[in-house]
Chain A
Amino acid sequence: MSKKRKHIHILDGMSLYTRDRSPFYWGYLNIGGKIFKKSLKTTDRKEAEKLLFAWKNEIFSNSMNLSDDQDHIEDHDHSKQEVIVDDKRRKALLITSGIMGAVTVAGFAVPFLSAWKPSEKAKALGASVKFDLSKLQPGAMAIVEWRRTPIFVVHQTQEAIDNLPKLNSKVTDQANDVLPSSNNKFTVLKGVCTHLSCAPKYHPEIEPKAWDQDWLGGFFCPCHGSKFDLAGRVYKGVPAPINLEIPPHTFSGNTLIIGESA
C-alpha cells in the first residue's frame, strides 16, 4: 500500500483513493456530475478495482453481462444518467469560440499570404525607369528595358505624324489617328508583338517593302509578319489581334518616366 495519499484513475468518472492514515481504498464515482464515494473495505488494489466496478454496476442497476470484463463496462447505459445541458450557453460558447478561432486563423493567414506579394527587392527591380529624351533625334528609336520588357521610345518626325491619318483604312483601330501615347512627339510602346510576344522591328523609312508596297513606316514582326504603324496600331489581316501595348508612362520636362501613369 502506498504511503502517500493519491488518486488512481481507473476509467472516466471512476477512481480509487488511498492515504496512509487509512488502510482501505476509497472508491470515487462521478456519475452525471454527481460524486459518490465510499470505503471499499479492502487493502488489495485488484480487489478494490473489482469492488468499484461492481458498485458502479449496482448504481446503474444494470446486471446484464457485467462481470469483470472491462470491455462491457464501457458500454454502460447512458440513458439512465441524468444530464443537464444548458443548450443556450453551449450554443453561445460554440459561436464565440468559433468566431475567435476563425479570426485567429485569418490573422495567421495574413503573413503567409502576404509573403507571396512582390518582395522589396522585386519591387525595386520593377520600379519605374527614367529616360532622357533630349538626346533622341527625330526619327530615331530607343529601347529601354522596364520589368524585363523592351520599351520602344520613338521620336516622331512631322512627316510621320502627318502620315498617320492616311493609314486609318488599313488599321483595325481606326479611331485612334493621333499618337496614342505621347506628348505629340514621342511614342512609347511595349516592344512585344501582341501575337506571340516576338520583338517587332522598327522600320521608319517610307519606301516599298517586301511586306508592303505602300509602307509609310512602322513596326514589322519578322516571326509571323504582323504589321503596326508608327503609333503602334495594328494593320488589318495580320496575326496580331490588337495594337502594341502602351506601358504606363509620364513626361516630366525632357525626362520620360516609364512605370508611372500621368
Chain B
Amino acid sequence: MSEKENSKSFMSSMMSWIDRRFPVTENLERHLTKHPVPKKVNFYYLFGALLMVVFMIQVITGIWLMMFYTNTEEGAFASIEYIMRDVEYGWLMRYMHSTGASAFFFLMYFHMFRGLLYGSYQKPKELVWLFGCFLLFLLMAEGFLGYVLPWGQMSYWAANVILSLFGAIPYIGPDLQVWIQGDFVLSGITLSRFFALHVVVVPLLMIALVVFHIFALHEVGAGNPEGVDIEKHRDAKGMPLDGAPFHPYKTFSALPAMGIFFIVFFAIVFFAPTGGGYLIEKPNFEEANFLKTPDHIAPVWYYAPFYSILRAVTFGIPFLGITSKFLGFIIFAASIAILFVVPWLDRSNVQSIRYKGIYSKIAMILFASSFITLGYLGTKPVNELRTLIAQICTIFYFAPFILMPIYTKYEKTLEVPERL
C-alpha cells in the first residue's frame, strides 16, 4: 500500500470521526459542493458573492481601524489624522473602509434591483427577500453611525439633521432625541455610543441576518433570469437537469468577477478615495464645529435618493398635528418599508421581467430612473424646480409598488419555458 493511500484513509477516517460529532461534510455538500444552482444566469447574479467579499473587507479593515481610533469628542478627529499620517498603511485601511461602504451600497442596490427584475422575492422566496431588506436597513444604519465617527463637520451636521428627524415625532420626539443623543445636543456622549453600535451591535445583527439570508436561500433554491423552476426536471440522482453544483461551477465563475471588482475598487482607493466629494465629503476634512454649519449639507451619494424624498415633502398635515418635517420622515421611512411588502404586492403568475407584461416593464424603468434622479437631486442644494422634480420622482418611486397588485394581476404575460 502506498503512502498516499494511507494518508487518504487517515484523512477520511478523521473526517468521519468529525462528521459524527459535527456535520462538516454534510453542510459543505449542502451549502457548497453539491448545492444546485441554475446553470444559466447573468451578471446580476454575481452581486451576492461580491457583497460577501465587501462585508469581509469591512470587518477586517474595521477591526484594524478600531485599534487606532479614539471614540471621544476631543480625540476622534485627531485619531483619524493619526491613522492617515502616522500609522503605516493606516490610509489604506481607512480608504478601503470608506470605499468599501460605497461599494457595499452600490452592490446592494444592484443586488436588490436584480431581485425586483427577476422576481427573486416571489413565493417561496419571501423570507430570503425579507432578510435582505432587513440587511439594507441595517446597512443604512451602519453607514450612518460610521459616518459620524470621524467627527468632521459633515459627520456632525448630517447627524444633526438625521437626529432632528426623531425630534420631529409628535409628543415623544424631543425626549426621544435627547435619549438617543444622551445629551441635549449632539456631543461626545453620542459619539461613543454610536461607536459601540457601529462596531458591535449592528455588525453582529448583520452577520446573523446574512446567515439567515443564505440558509433561507439554500432551502428554497436560487432563481434565474428566466424564472424557470429548475427543481421540476431532475436526473436519476436527483440533481436538477438545469442545475450545476455551486462549487466549482459558480465559485470559479465568481472569481473573474471578483478580479474586475477589485480592479475598480482599488482604482478608487488609490486614485480617487474621496470620489470628488461624493464618497467622503469635503467639509469632513474639518473638525466638527458646533457653531458653524457647512454652507450646504449633502448626504453621501448612497443616501441621496432617500434624502431627496425626505426633502421633497414640503407640506405637513396641520389638522393632524403633523409637521412637514415629520411627514417627510414618514415618507422617507415608507420608501424603505415598502420594499418589505413587495412579495405580497406582486400578483403576477410569472417571476421574471422577461415574461411579464408591458406595465411591469414600464414600472421598473420608472422606478429605476426616479431612483437615479432622486439620487442626483439629493446631492444638490434645493430650489423650487428641483423640489418639484423631486416630488414627481417621489411619486414615481412609490407608484410602481402601490399599483403593483393591479397591473401584475391584469397584464398579459408570456409563457415561461419548461427548461432553462
State whether the Cβ of B61 lies closer than 8 Å to any Cβ in chain A. Answer: no
Question: Of A117, A147, A199, A223, which one neighbours B185 at CB under 8 angstroms?
Answer: A147
Which of A122, A198, A224 has the most B CB atoms < 10 Å from its CB? A122
Nearest-Cβ distance from residue A190 to partner chain B, whole angstroms: 12
State whether the Cβ of B268 lies closer than 8 Å to any Cβ in chain A. Answer: no
Chain B residues closer than 8 Å to A148, beta-carbon distance: 185, 187, 290-291
B interface secondary structure, majority: loop
Chain B residues closer than 8 Å to A116, beta-carbon distance: 179-180, 182, 193
State whether the Cβ of B389 lies closer than 8 Å to any Cβ in chain A. Answer: no
How many A residues, CB 8 Å from partner?
A: 17
Is the CB–CB distance between B185 and A119 below 8 Å?
no
Is the CB–CB distance between A149 and B182 below 8 Å?
no
Nearest-Cβ distance from residue A155 to partner chain B, whole angstroms: 23
State whether the Cβ of B184 lies closer than 8 Å to any Cβ in chain A. Answer: yes
Question: Of A119, A122, A223, which one neighbours B295 at CB under 8 angstroms?
Answer: A223
State whether the Cβ of A85 lies closer than 8 Å to any Cβ in chain B. Answer: no
Nearest-Cβ distance from residue B34 to partner chain A, whole angstroms: 23
Given contacts A117-B179, A117-B182, A119-B182, contact A196 B295 (CB under 8 A): yes
State whether the Cβ of B183 lies closer than 8 Å to any Cβ in chain A. Answer: yes
A123 — nearest CB in chain B belongs to which residue?
Answer: B184
Nearest-Cβ distance from residue A106 to partner chain B, whole angstroms: 17
Is the CB–CB distance between B182 and A122 below 8 Å?
yes
Is the CB–CB distance between A197 and B293 below 8 Å?
yes
A interface secondary structure, majority: loop
State whether the Cβ of A180 lies closer than 8 Å to any Cβ in chain B. Answer: no
Is the CB–CB distance between B184 and A118 below 8 Å?
yes
B188 — nearest CB in chain A belongs to which residue?
Answer: A122
Chain B residues closer than 8 Å to A147, beta-carbon distance: 184-185
Bound form: Cα–Cα A223–B290 in Å: 16
B178 — nearest CB in chain A belongs to which residue?
Answer: A118
Is the CB–CB distance between A149 and B185 below 8 Å?
yes
A147 — nearest CB in chain B belongs to which residue?
Answer: B184
State whether the Cβ of B297 lies closer than 8 Å to any Cβ in chain A. Answer: yes
Bound form: Cα–Cα A255–B18 in Å: 79
Provide the B172-202 mask, 1 if CB < 8 A to any CB of A, else 0. Answer: 0000001110111101010001000000000
Bound form: Cα–Cα A118–B175 in Å: 11
Bound form: Cα–Cα A198–B295 in Å: 8
Bound form: Cα–Cα A197–B187 in Å: 16
For the complex of A and B, list the 5 residue pairs with the smallest distance between their C-beta atoms, beginning with the closest.
Answer: A197-B293, A126-B184, A122-B183, A148-B290, A147-B184
Residues of A bordering B, CB below 8 Å? 116-119, 122, 125-126, 147-150, 196-199, 223-224
Apart from A116-B180, A148-B185, 5 more pairs, CB < 8 Å: A116-B182, A117-B179, A122-B182, A148-B291, A224-B295
Residues of B bordering A, CB below 8 Å? 157, 160, 178-180, 182-185, 187, 189, 193, 290-293, 295-297
9 contacts between A and B (CB under 8 A): A116-B179, A116-B182, A118-B182, A118-B183, A122-B182, A122-B189, A126-B184, A149-B185, A197-B157
